[in-house]
Structure 1
Amino acid sequence: MRASKLAALLLVFFPWYPAQAAPNLDRIGLPPGFAIGIFAQGLDRPRAVAFAPNGDLFVTEIGAGRVSVLPDRDGNGKADRRVTFAGKLSDPHGLAFYRGYLYVGETGKVARYPYKSGQLEGRNRQVVVNNLPSGGGHFTRTVAFGPDDKMYVSIGSTCNVCVERDKRRATVMQFNADGTGGRIYASGLRNAVGLRFDSAGRLWATSNGRDWLGDDTPPDELHILEDGMSAGWPFCHAGKYKDPEPKYAALGSCEQVKRPLWGFQAHSAPLGVSEYTGNQFPPEYRGDLFVAFHGSWNRSRPTGYKVVRAEIENGKVTRLSDFATGWLRPDREVAGRPVDVLAGPDGSLFVTDDGEGVIYRIRYTGQ
């Protein structure tokens, strides 16, 4: 038997995880009746996830510059193996399936791959947007498709606070699905990493606020984006905090910007956001949002490092509560950094962690 065939068989019949210590799940706090397990580990800084039409989980591994497929064909709640769908990518982050294609957001471009159900290898790559601003302080690009058949791409700022030379920075842009017709849809968003539509067609976005104004100012932001809106950066933060530097404050007024629906604890770093549409959790969770907090890096007392639940009524946040905690230990040591959060076809909640290289699966057991 040739070595390549033997290797393929080993991938199918034996665990594929690289040798490493499994994260301690006992530290993760959840509401009563919920349980957490490891869906996949040994990943290289996993970021965004998307489910293919057949239920396979796709993930970007920004550390390895690749998109991986993690099929669970036996349905045991753990990935059977990791398969590289596309490699040699430039800081891949956003993923979206749309009308027979998988779209991938890289730092300076958006590419797409024709996709058929069950496909494990990307072929015939097409770059549909090739001139996005690249690099800079905020270099990830999130991709989402709306009920209007348009593609939305988030582009973070190059800096903490500045006047951008490229007006596409600190925005969410709108494109046709083939990459044409690009225009600025929403502006003044310092770093809108979380970007997803809900079942009502609303485009939710998280945005990370300005640094170096103190431990608690300004709040990080949760928005429903609207065409033509400005969230205020760099002159106004969280809809009400005028920038203290006169050269930025002079650029506009807080009265002219759209305020966020909710202000999170400053420096929590909210990233992935998604509506819970499954049926596996108790019915009161349906229609609420989950938000992954990546966690602070410059606060005197660390904050974030958790997944929160935002209860939603008529497009408004009525209550915010912790859902999954424990990645920030009592001694303030960090034991993981949640990035994206998304319900799977079975209703379980999947959470990526680019600190531990893990994807978690949270389900309701009632016990």
Structure 2
Amino acid sequence: MAPRFMALGPDGLVFVADRALDQVLALPDRDGDGQADEVIIVARGLYVPTSLAFRNGELYVGETAGVTRLTLHPRHRHAKEETPVITDLPPVGRHYTRTVLFGPDGRLYVSIGSSCNVCRESDPHRAAVWVYPPDGGSGEPFTVGLRNAVGLAVNPWTQTIWATNNGRDFMGDDRPPDTVYELAAGADAGWPRCHAGTIPDPDFGRQPDACQGVLQPVLTLPAHVAPLGLAFYPRDASGPAAFPADMQGDLFIALHGSWNRSTLVGYKVVRVPLDDSGRPEGPPEDFAIGFLQPDGRVLGRPVGLLVLPDGSMLVSDDRAGFIYRISRE
């Protein structure tokens, strides 16, 4: 199993996309002990499913070439109907995950990564977040110039969509930084000509105005840490497993970890303190570590984050094949 992003069903049931076996799973915890009692196969035979989102009790699955809506059996949780919603996403390429999210406006947002490390794309879907009517149909670019925006989440205090973005490779160990963006309609984050708002690309950004007018990130992270899932922890969490008060209202980010850096970085979950308006007010701090051992052994790679009603947080790991539960207990 390679668990990627997770979603909470209307009745509190946890669902997860399993990229390795092309399936969606449900993980009931009937006795409330913080461990799944069984693994239910909701749907199988999907095309590299990596993300999930619920709307009106139906489950939307982000797959490499599109988005599928699953109508679930009310008792058995199996998908009794699968309906293609979006069918024209690029089916191959360097970045093949697709992240789905329903925004505050009720529309369906889908992130599509670039086909390459750095290049000029011919398919306008690439390196962008697109927006669609909730049941599919004709979409349009929402924010472009994002090399690989994997994580999407709604900031509950600004009611805007934030996205993690993985920067280009082969500019050295420390450039360009990975980033988090607050998406905006019609904005351009600059890729491939500009990185992280201020760094011209050595191949595609030789013009003097390469970074002029590009969307600026709300947060920069060390190069190559590969930020994926992000979650805004609620400010009023009061469940038995709720995090301490000084962690509530903050942003948590899963760093999948580097692959082409001389010294490995990432491989952890970090916490970003936010101010009362929901903006970063301090640098990222380590929250969950141990995926990367001091001797360089990699035990896991965190991917998705999900805050549960009891205040605990789930962290998926697509290398070790686990989902961890972190609580105050």
Q: Report the TM-score, using the length of structure 2 for normalisation.
A: 0.95
Shift of 1:255: 2.0
Instruction: Tell me if 1:331 matches 2:288.
Output: no
Determine the C-alpha separation between the residues in 2 that align with 1:329 and 1:80: 30
Is the 8 Å Cα contact of residues 10 and 57 (structure 2) preserved in structure 1?
no
Is the 8 Å Cα contact of residues 236 and 249 (structure 1) preserved in structure 2?
no
Shift of 1:138: 0.3
Instruction: Tell me if 1:202 matches 2:160.
Output: yes
Render the CA deviation track for 1:275-297: whole Å, top value 9, x for unaligned: 01233112222221110000000
Shift of 1:118: 5.2
Amino acid at match of 1:351: V
Render the CA deviation track for 1:239-275: whole Å, top value 9, x for unaligned: 0110011x44349621210110111000000000010
Render the CA deviation track for 1:276-328: whole Å, top value 9, x for unaligned: 12331122222211100000000000000000001112232112211011111
Q: How does 1:164-203 map to 2 (within 5 A)?
A: 164-200=121-157, 201-203=159-161
Q: Could you tell me which residue of structure 2 aligns to residue 303 of structure 1?
A: 265
Q: How does 1:10-159 map to 2 (within 5 A)?
A: 44-115=1-72, 119-159=76-116
Q: Could you tell me which residue of structure 2 aligns to residue 269 of structure 1?
A: 226
Is the 8 Å Cα contact of residues 235 and 251 (structure 1) preserved in structure 2?
no
RMSD: 1.3
Against the structure 1 CA distance between its residues 99 and 239, is the aligned structure 2 distance closer, same or farther, given a 3 Å change threshold? Answer: same
Is the 8 Å Cα contact of residues 54 and 118 (structure 1) preserved in structure 2?
no
Determine the C-alpha separation between the residues in 1 that align with 2:100 and 2:120: 25
Determine the C-alpha separation between the residues in 2 that align with 1:166 and 1:248: 20
Render the CA deviation track for 1:175-214: whole Å, top value 9, x for unaligned: 0111023000000000000001122322010000000000
* Identity percentage of aligned residues: 47
Amino acid at match of 2:319: G
SS at match of 1:244: coil
307, 312, 316: which one pairs with 1:348? 312
Q: Which runs of 4+ in 1 moved over 6 A?
A: none
Determine the C-alpha separation between the residues in 2 that align with 1:249 and 1:85: 50
Is the 8 Å Cα contact of residues 152 and 175 (structure 1) preserved in structure 2?
yes
Shift of 1:117: 5.3
Determine the C-alpha separation between the residues in 1 that align with 2:274 and 2:34: 28
SS at match of 1:312: coil
Determine the C-alpha separation between the residues in 1 that align with 2:290 and 2:202: 35
Shift of 1:55: 1.1
Give structure 1 stretches of 5+ with no counterpart. Answer: 1-43
Is the 8 Å Cα contact of residues 238 and 259 (structure 1) preserved in structure 2?
yes
Q: Could you tell me which residue of structure 1 aligns to residue 244 of structure 2?
A: 282
Q: Could you tell me which residue of structure 1 aligns to residue 192 of structure 2?
A: 234
SS at match of 1:284: helix
How many residues were matched structurally? Answer: 321
Amino acid at match of 2:190: G
Determine the C-alpha separation between the residues in 1 that align with 2:49 and 2:309: 24
Q: Could you tell me which residue of structure 2 aligns to residue 312 of structure 1?
A: 274
Q: Could you tell me which residue of structure 2 aligns to residue 213 of structure 1?
A: 171
Render the CA deviation track for 1:315-348: whole Å, top value 9, x for unaligned: 3211221101111100111110000111012110
SS at match of 1:125: strand
Q: Could you tell me which residue of structure 1 aligns to residue 183 of structure 2?
A: 225
SS at match of 2:265: coil
Amino acid at match of 2:154: F
Work out which structure has the larger RCO, using CA pairs closer than 8 Å and 6 or more positions apart in sequence.
1
Q: Report the TM-score, using the length of structure 1 for normalisation.
A: 0.85
SS at match of 2:188: coil
Is the 8 Å Cα contact of residues 293 and 306 (structure 1) preserved in structure 2?
yes
236, 254, 257: which one pairs with 1:292? 254
Q: Which moved more, 1:262-271 or 1:275-284?
A: 275-284
Determine the C-alpha separation between the residues in 2 that align with 1:162 and 1:125: 35
Amino acid at match of 1:151: L
SS at match of 2:281: strand
Give structure 2 stretches of 5+ with no counterpart. Answer: none
Which of the two has higher C-alpha Rg?
1
Determine the C-alpha separation between the residues in 2 that align with 1:198 and 1:192: 16
Against the structure 1 CA distance between its residues 229 and 119, is the aligned structure 2 distance closer, same or farther, given a 3 Å change threshold? Answer: farther
